[in-house]
Amino acid sequence: MSHLSPALLSIGLLATTLVAQSPAPKTAPKAIDPANLDTSVKPCDDFYQYANGGWLKRSTIPADKARFGSFEELADRNRDTLHAILEETSKRTDWKKGSIEQKVGDFYASGMDAGAIEKLGAAPLKPWLDRIEAMRGPKDLAKVLAAFHGARAGGGGFGLGVAQDAKNSTQYIVQLNQGGLGLPDRDYYTKDDAKSKELRTKYLAHVARMMVLAGEDPLDAGAHADAVMLVETRLAKASMTRVEQRDPQKTYHKMAMSELVQLAPQFDWSAYLKDRGILKLEAVNVRQPGFFKEFGALADQLTLAEWRSYLRWHAISSAAPYLSRAFVDEAFDFNSRTLNGIPQQQDRWKRVQAVLDTPSALGEAAGQLYVKKAFSPESKQKMVVLIENLRAALKEKIIALPWMGEDTKQQALKKLAAFGVKVGYPDKWKDASKIEVKRGDFYGNIMRARAYETRHNIERLGQPIDRTEWGMTPSTVNAYYSPTMNEIVFPAGILQPPFFDANADDAVNYGGIGAVIGHEMTHGFDDSGSQFDADGNLKNWWTDADKKAYERRTDLVVKEFDAFKSMPDQNVNGKLTLGENIADLGGLKIAYAAWQKSLGSMTAEPIDGYTGPQRFFLNFAIIWRNVIRPEAQRVRLNTDPHSPGQFRTIGPLSNLPEFFTAFGCNDGDAMKRAEDVRPSIW
């Protein structure tokens, strides 16, 4: 799950003291399929293999995917539902002009019109490339970047957006963020191992080929690619690492306009901000000051030719997936085949649908059509019950903590009670009325939708915080916690088997979506989220003694995951994945406690030979199962704050006494870790 920003259903303090009981299902669906298990493995030695070995043995990765597992299986089912909606909607041309159906249908039809797209070739790029060619000096850089950033048409350099002020969550603030790289992470430019060098060589060749497709002389493309690498390498070396950025204190540097100018005086900030629609900048959070100091130096030191090469590349790479076949194939060859080992490109309809189903106005427009078919009021109500049961369980856990003092406990309980909750889909949908959508203009439709989103983002400045906004579309198979909103959000897309089934056995639901709910709740108290208070402000609410006690426990989590070897030459990065690992461990414990409490005086009877606790833990393992390509695994180990699915299962369970009891684990079993090295936080 993710940390994102952006209230559908707010639950007050009183509700945290109540635990609703769910009646036992009359006929429990068979959630645990014995064919998916590998009973030749002892559950206490490798529970991931025990629970999923049969499935892993017969599962293959589809040719158009980097990974395949429970998330992808459900995403495919959701995609099929949305695909049927889009096909049906796009076939009609008599929808009322401006209606959701007209915009969604025409957008999809434009993306499926391969003939029109092919005929255009590189033509959609021409206005952007002409703008770059018209640059006459460093002063033009600000205006070109403003145009590109405002349209989300590439441009590189850095990112600007408007978001909640982390230290004053009732206000929006302009945020500047490092960026401008074409490879997945800064380390791809700085590491000197053989794999990194080989990848950089392939990247240079890819950049050159793309530039030739866009009309450059092949004799010049190589030198221009070298210029791109020069600029990106300097930006990469000035960038903060992903681990460093996990600490919100390190990415909060509030400045006045004069201080920003002093930090990077070589760049024309006044011209840039004016063209972005920001006429008066009272404050800005410069998330990585060192990066922007270097960016300012580059604005002055690079030649006009170097800037042109760099900007052309970012314009081309941004547009390539939506242009003619030659561009699409070249982009796929490097970004998917080389980086992630994916041998086959997705069908066109899948790619078009992915462009449409993003957290933009059109993504929510499609979402309105999706939820009518895929999400029932009964499912929403049962989710509310589950969430409140977990909130109550976490409350009891906090009250009983032996290592946390009373003052800190009261602040933690205040924060828990203040959690906002969103389930299924927004109460208030984004307005798509101002986005012009035309058949036969796929690239234009994308650009107009993106431009609308960036304008909408900038227009939030000075306005009250909009607590109705969502950071994911309804069909998304994911969930998130927002520290500045202090809310947990669960799209309709994830509220389906194996995560959730309104008719399923409670043990299975709590082991699936219950663990997901607990995961997102625990993000409010992970190493990063714990630095935000009940109002969503970056403000310390811990006593020094309690903070030290907490860090001693989280240090054990880092050590545990650092020891997991995911590839022959690479382990999991315990510091990069710390927040997600804390959330997995806490979420599992809270979900189990909530399930036990929901039983009341009842007993979870065995089903198909498995006790209630066993079914709980089996479904927990099922939701994390996946098969992944080695290339994709390497990218994720370098960039993804989530641990591989195998260790998201083994790690938390190796620390849980309730698991040991459920499967009769003994001292000496591989997954029963010694008590003195077990992290126990909540």
Single residue among 279, 311, 343 that ends a domain in this structure: 311
pLDDT at 393: 98
pLDDT band at 29 (very low <50, low <70, confident <90, very high): very low
Residue 476 in any domain: the answer is: yes
Domain annotation covers residue 525: yes
Distances (CA, A) of 208 to 220, 313, 336: 9, 9, 18
Q: Residue 48 belongs to what domain range? A: 2-15+37-81+359-677
Do 281 and 371 have their domain in common? no
Q: What is the pLDDT of residue 391?
A: 98
Statement to judge: residues 379 and 281 lie in one domain: no
Give residues with Cβ within 8 angstroms of 593, minimum separation 6: 393, 396, 397
Cα 524 to Cα 535: distance, rounded to the nearest angstrom? 12
Weakest-pLDDT range from 150-154, 507-511, 643-647: 150-154
Residue 531 lies in a domain: yes
pLDDT confidence of residue 164: 98
pLDDT (tens digit per residue) in 423-457: 999 999 999 999 999 999 999 999 999 999 999 99
Q: Do residue 521 and residue 628 come from a single domain?
A: yes
Is residue 217 over pLDDT 80? yes
Q: Is residue 348 part of a domain?
A: no
pLDDT tens-digit readout, 557-600: 999 999 999 999 999 999 999 999 999 999 999 999 999 999 99
Same domain assignment for residues 274 and 392 = no
Same domain, residue pair 370 and 302: no
DSSP states of 65-111 as a string? -SEEEHHHHHHHHHHHHHHHHHHHHHH---SPTTSHHHHHHHHHHHH
170 found inside a domain? yes
Domain CATH number, residue 202: 1.10.1380.10
Whether residue 556 sits in one domain with residue 667: yes
Residue 459 located in a structural domain: yes
Residue 532 CB partners (closer than 8 Å, separation 6+): 166, 248, 483, 484, 486, 524, 538, 539
| Residue 648 contacts residue 624 (beta carbons within 8 Å) | yes
| pLDDT above 50 for 19 | no
Statement: residue 3 has pLDDT above 80 = no
Number of domains in the chain: 2
Residue 30 pLDDT class (50, 70, 90 cuts)? low
Asked if 615 and 660 count as a contact pair (C-beta separation under 8 A), the reply is no
Query: With contact defined as beta carbons under 8 Å apart, do 665 and 659 qualify?
Result: yes
Q: Determine, yes or no, domain membership for 332.
A: no
The answer to whether 149 and 276 have CB atoms below 8 angstroms apart is yes
Cα distances (Å, whole numbers) of residue 383 to 179, 391, 485, 512: 38, 12, 20, 12
Whether 142 and 73 share a structural domain: no
Residue 378 located in a structural domain = yes
- Rounded distance, CA 190 to CA 177, Å? 20
Question: Is residue 149 located within the same domain as residue 50?
Answer: no
If you average pLDDT over every residue of the chain, what do you get? 94
pLDDT of residue 555: 98
Instruction: Name the nearest CA neighbour of 678 among 583, 564, 559.
Output: 559
Same structural domain for residues 287 and 427? no
Has residue 186 got a pLDDT over 90? Answer: yes
**Any idea which residues carry the catalytic annotation?**
520, 584
| pLDDT greater than 70 at residue 243 | yes
- CATH code assigned at 587: 3.40.390.10
pTM over 0.85: yes
Q: Are residues 254 and 185 in the same domain?
A: yes
Reduce the DSSP state of residue 169 to 3 states and report it. Answer: strand
